[in-house]
């Protein structure tokens, strides 16, 4: 066998993608699996967006374009930021990427040196620590608790900061909790950013999926003076049900964006040209479809919470956005009828998949082994059926 690099040896596969793949493989075999592990909307991309892409293809829009992305799309992103947040940006401060993941990866490669520390609030999206490590950095995980709405105290965060700490990653609405950071918490974070000269990666991929239906907010909403230190990541995947289109973007300081474009130019070059045309239409057209989708997710969130409240041994905070619920489980130490002890969130998720035929993601993937993530990107009928199955499965434990 060929010698593997150290980064290849230590890299772990995405737990969310792994569970989703297993659930889909079982469904392909004809097994009735209800997949509540998916990290994508269950809606199809709106037709007007697909039509825009088709027109671009018909016009021969299939050639190379500049690495930063179409000027018209970057202008549309700036316009969207102005409408949604009130932020002023120019096209040269925008880089279009192959999904939001690449935007994050580009930025980390540009700003993280070997040994640099990046603060990550737990629970976190599964890929943040791995991406920091691939960039040569050290992820410094900051624990939080459900009792405090998963907002660690500033004193707890400050204890972890060292001379090697360079930045912090924020994600609100959050994957996996579905919660939105309070303005007070963001102001407190802003004070640390100023005090320790940190940069901020603001992952806003779920920004318009808020169940209070307010305009999106991030740390710049409460601390606009940090504009040169904040980098906004977003994309069309969640908001417009365009996960497979792989169009995201990075917004921030022109000098850093240029460096990120250079990095991208040596890896993938530009994101798919005709897909960018679809993204442009998504951003510049009426947002009515987005609002409808958000209303459906909000309705499902209420429905799911009402069902889960009836199941003993599960606690949670009702989601405020995105399409996830992070549930604490109290069944560790119990045994299945087959005699296997449930020791952790992986065992718990495997049991639900094997017996209840319900796929959820173990919380250890997000930094907290006491939880599971449940996606409600599924119909109310399936959510109800899944909860009935879960309740039955938990009733079998001894």
Question: Is 269 inside any structural domain?
Answer: yes
Q: Among residues 285, 312, 337, which one ends one of the domains?
A: 285
Co-location of 209 and 228 in the same domain:
yes
Question: Is 1 inside any structural domain?
Answer: no
CATH of the domain at 183: 3.40.640.10
Q: Among residues 285, 302, 328, which one ends one of the domains?
A: 285
Start-to-end CA span in the chain (Å): 45
CATH of the domain at 36: 3.90.1150.10
Co-location of 278 and 160 in the same domain:
yes
CB of 357 within 8 A of CB of 26? Answer: yes
Co-location of 130 and 233 in the same domain:
yes
- Total domains present in the chain: 2
Question: Is 50 inside any structural domain?
Answer: no
Q: What is the pLDDT of residue 383?
A: 98
Q: What is the CA radius of gyration of the chain?
A: 21
Question: Is 57 inside any structural domain?
Answer: no
Co-location of 236 and 263 in the same domain:
yes
The residue segments making up the domain with residue 257 are 63-285
Reduced to 3 states (helix: H, G, I; strand: E, B; else coil), residue 363 is helix
Question: Is 380 inside any structural domain?
Answer: yes
Question: Is 139 inside any structural domain?
Answer: yes
Co-location of 38 and 146 in the same domain:
no
Question: Is 354 inside any structural domain?
Answer: yes
Co-location of 272 and 293 in the same domain:
no
Model pTM?
0.96
Q: What is the pLDDT of residue 26?
A: 84
Co-location of 229 and 328 in the same domain:
no
Co-location of 106 and 125 in the same domain:
yes
Co-location of 163 and 272 in the same domain:
yes
| Dihedral sign of CA atoms 92, 93, 99, 105 in order | positive
Question: Is 77 inside any structural domain?
Answer: yes
Co-location of 247 and 294 in the same domain:
no
Q: What is the pLDDT of residue 12?
A: 75
Q: What is the pLDDT of residue 16?
A: 67
Q: What is the pLDDT of residue 6?
A: 84
Co-location of 91 and 217 in the same domain:
yes
Q: Among residues 231, 254, 285, which one ends one of the domains?
A: 285
Q: What is the pLDDT of residue 15?
A: 67
Q: What is the pLDDT of residue 160?
A: 97
Segments in the chain below pLDDT 50: none
DSSP alpha helix (H) spans, the chain = 6-10, 15-28, 47-58, 71-84, 99-111, 127-134, 154-160, 183-196, 219-222, 254-265, 273-284, 288-308, 345-351, 380-395
Co-location of 355 and 269 in the same domain:
no
DSSP string of 69-137?
Answer: --HHHHHHHHHHHHHHT-----GGGEEEESHHHHHHHHHHHHH--TT-EEEEESS--THHHHHHHHTT-
């Amino acid at each position: 066998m060929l010698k593997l690099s150290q980064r290849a040896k230590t890299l772990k596969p995405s737990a969310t993608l792994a569970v989703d793949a297993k659930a889909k493989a079982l469904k392909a075999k004809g097994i009735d699996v209800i997949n509540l592990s998916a990290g994508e909307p269950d809606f199809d991309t709106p037709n007007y967006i697909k039509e825009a892409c088709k027109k671009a293809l018909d016009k021969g829009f299939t050639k190379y374009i500049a690495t930063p992305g179409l000027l018209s799309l970057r202008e549309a992103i700036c316009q969207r930021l102005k409408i949604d947040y009130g932020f002023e940006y120019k096209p040269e401060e925008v880089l279009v990427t192959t999904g939001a993941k690449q935007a994050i990866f580009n930025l980390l490669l540009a700003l993280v040196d070997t040994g640099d520390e990046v603060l990550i609030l737990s629970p976190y999206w599964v890929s943040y620590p791995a991406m920091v490590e691939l960039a040569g950095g050290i992820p410094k995980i900051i624990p939080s608790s459900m009792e405090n709405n998963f907002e660690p105290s500033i004193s707890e965060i400050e204890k972890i900061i060292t001379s090697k700490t360079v930045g912090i990653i924020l994600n609100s609405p959050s994957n996996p909790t579905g919660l939105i950071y309070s303005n007070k918490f963001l102001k407190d974070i802003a004070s640390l950013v100023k005090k320790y000269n940190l940069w901020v990666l603001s992952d806003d991929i779920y920004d318009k999926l808020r169940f209070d239906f307010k305009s999106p907010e991030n740390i710049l909403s409460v601390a606009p003076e940090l504009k040169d230190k904040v980098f906004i990541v977003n994309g069309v995947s969640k908001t417009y049900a365009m996960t497979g289109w792989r169009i995201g973007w990075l917004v921030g300081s022109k000098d850093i964006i240029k460096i990120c474009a250079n990095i991208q130019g040596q890896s993938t070059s530009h994101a798919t040209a005709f897909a960018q045309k679809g993204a442009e239409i998504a951003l510049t057209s009426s947002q009515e479809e987005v609002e409808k989708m958000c209303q459906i997710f909000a309705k499902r969130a209420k429905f799911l919470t009402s069902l889960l409240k009836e199941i003993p041994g599960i606690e949670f905070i009702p989601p405020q956005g995105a399409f996830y619920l992070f549930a604490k489980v109290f069944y560790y130490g119990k045994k299945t009828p087959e005699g296997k002890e449930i020791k952790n969130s992986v065992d718990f998720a495997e049991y639900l998949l094997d017996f209840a035929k319900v796929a959820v993601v173990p919380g250890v993937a997000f930094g907290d082994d006491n939880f599971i993530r449940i996606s409600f990107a599924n119909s109310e009928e399936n959510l109800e059926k899944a909860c009935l199955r879960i309740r039955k499965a938990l009733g079998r434990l001894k």
